Amino acid sequence: MFPHAFEVASSLESKNETWRSAPFGVYVLGGGTALSDCLATMEKSMALEVVAFRSPEVLVKGIKIAGPGCVLVDATQGAGQSALDTQSSVLELGVTLPLIVIVNRDGIDVAVHAFRQGAVDLLVDPTVEQLEQSLLRVKAVALHQYEKQKARQETARMLSELTPAERQVLDHLVRGLPNKNIASLLQISIRTVEDRRARIMRKFQVDSFPELLRRVFEAS
């Protein structure tokens, strides 16, 4: 299924610019020497951090949840149930890492169950190029999810740092109330509302009110 690693080196070289410099975790369950060779080459060329595990239980414990990554399960060597067990275990832990499942042509039943449980990609006896393209797609999805998650966490942190008075003003702002109405409701001057609004925007490091609203709504 997979040629030796040196055969794919040249095809990967031209795609280096597609990958970010920070390592992307690829957590592998199952797979033989050929798959390991291919991933070893991709690990350097595509800025991957490949880690292999022997069982779903060990994999779930070993995943570095703090960073972006994906789970790659080779179900071509009798690991079909392990693929489904891994997927279920990861979901039960609340981990949202994308899952790629590799099956042979006799493992379509595993593929159906994997997709029903939310697998992002399925490869049937893939070539090296197909595996590479799958990782490209899944990495793009995973990085997008990770960046959105980090943005929500950062916004939540900023919200927690607002004073009660600033939070009062922000709550009314996101309801669409103008400064004059907020001042009336809180029994403060319009200038005070403006000052608190300015402090909120500085804490959120935004230059416009629409950007502030976008950040707040993303975290909700």
**Helix 128-160 with 190-204: angle, nearest 10 deg:** 150
Q: What is the pLDDT of residues 108-155, one digit of tens each?
A: 676 677 777 767 788 888 888 899 999 999 988 888 888 888 888 899
The position carrying tokens 């069982």 is: 55
CA neighbor of 102 nearest in space, from 121, 129, 86, 118? 121
CA neighbor of 215 nearest in space, from 165, 169, 164, 154? 154
Do residues 24 and 48 make contact, with C-beta atoms less than 8 angstroms apart?
yes
Q: What is the pLDDT of residues 193-204, one digit of tens each?
A: 999 999 999 999
Q: Where does CATH 1.10.10.10 sit in the chain?
A: 161-219
Single-letter amino acid code for the residue at 67: G
The position carrying tokens 């595509």 is: 46
Q: Where does CATH 3.40.50.2300 sit in the chain?
A: 5-153
- pTM for this model (two decimals): 0.62
CATH no. of 5-153: 3.40.50.2300
The position carrying tokens 């390592």 is: 23
CATH no. of 161-219: 1.10.10.10
